[in-house]
Structure 1
Amino acid sequence: MLKVKNLHVYYGGIHALKGINVEVNQGEIVTIIGSNGAGKSTLLNTITGIVKPKEGEIFYKGEKLSLIPHKIVAKGICQVPEGRLVFANLTVKDNLLLGAYLRKDKAEINKDLQNVYEIFPRLKEREKQMAGTLSGGEQQMLAIGRALMGRPEIMLLDEPSLGLAPLLVDTIFKIILDIKKMGKTILLVEQNAFKALEIADRAYVLEQGRITLEGGAKDIASDPKVQEAYLGKRVVG
Structure 2
Amino acid sequence: MLKINNLSVFYGGIHALKGVSLNVEQGQIVSIIGSNGAGKSTLINSISGIVKYKEGEIFYKGEKLSKQAHKIVKSGICQVPEGRIIFANLTVMENLRMGSFLRSDTNGIDKDLNRIFDLFPILKEREKQVAGTLSGGEQQMLAMGRGLMSNPDLILLDEPSLGLAPLLINTIFDIIIEINNMGKTILLVEQNAFKALSIADYAYVLEQGIITMEGNANELIKNEKIKEAYLGKKNVDFISV
TM-score, with structure 1 as normaliser: 0.98
Which amino acid counterpart does residue 206 of structure 1 have in structure 2? L
- Could you tell me how far 1:16 is from its partner in structure 2? 0.1
- Could you tell me how far 1:176 is from its partner in structure 2? 0.3
> Could you list the per-position Cα deviations for residues 153-191 of structure 1 after superposition, in whole angstroms to 9, with x for gaps in the alignment?
000000000100011000000000000100000000001
- Could you tell me how far 1:59 is from its partner in structure 2? 0.1
- Could you tell me how far 1:199 is from its partner in structure 2? 0.3
TM-score, with structure 2 as normaliser: 0.96
- Structure 1 runs not aligned, ≥5 long: none
Q: 2: CA distance between counterparts of 1:151 and 1:108?
A: 9
Matched, 1:45 2:36: no
> Could you list the per-position Cα deviations for residues 65-113 of structure 1 after superposition, in whole angstroms to 9, with x for gaps in the alignment?
1100000000000000000000000000000000000001112211111
Partner of 2:71: 71
Q: 2: CA distance between counterparts of 1:127 and 1:220?
A: 40
Secondary structure in structure 1 of the residue aligned to 2:49: coil
Q: 1: CA distance between counterparts of 2:35 and 2:192?
A: 10
Aligned counterparts, 1:131-210, within 5 A? 131-210=131-210
- Could you tell me how far 1:222 is from its partner in structure 2? 1.0
Matched, 1:215 2:208: no
Aligned counterparts, 1:6-45, within 5 A? 6-45=6-45
Partner of 1:99: 99
- Could you tell me how far 1:129 is from its partner in structure 2? 0.4
Of 226-235 and 191-200, deviating more is: 226-235
Which amino acid counterpart does residue 2 of structure 1 have in structure 2? L
Instruction: State, as a whole percentage, how many aligned pairs show the same letter.
Output: 70
Which amino acid counterpart does residue 227 of structure 1 have in structure 2? K
Q: 2: CA distance between counterparts of 1:60 and 1:188?
A: 16
Partner of 1:122: 122
Q: 2: CA distance between counterparts of 1:26 and 1:58?
A: 15
Which amino acid counterpart does residue 48 of structure 2 have in structure 1? T
Matched, 1:87 2:87: yes
Which amino acid counterpart does residue 223 of structure 2 have in structure 1? D
RMSD: 0.9
Which amino acid counterpart does residue 87 of structure 2 have in structure 1? F
Q: List structure 1 runs of 4+ shifted beyond 2 angstroms.
A: none
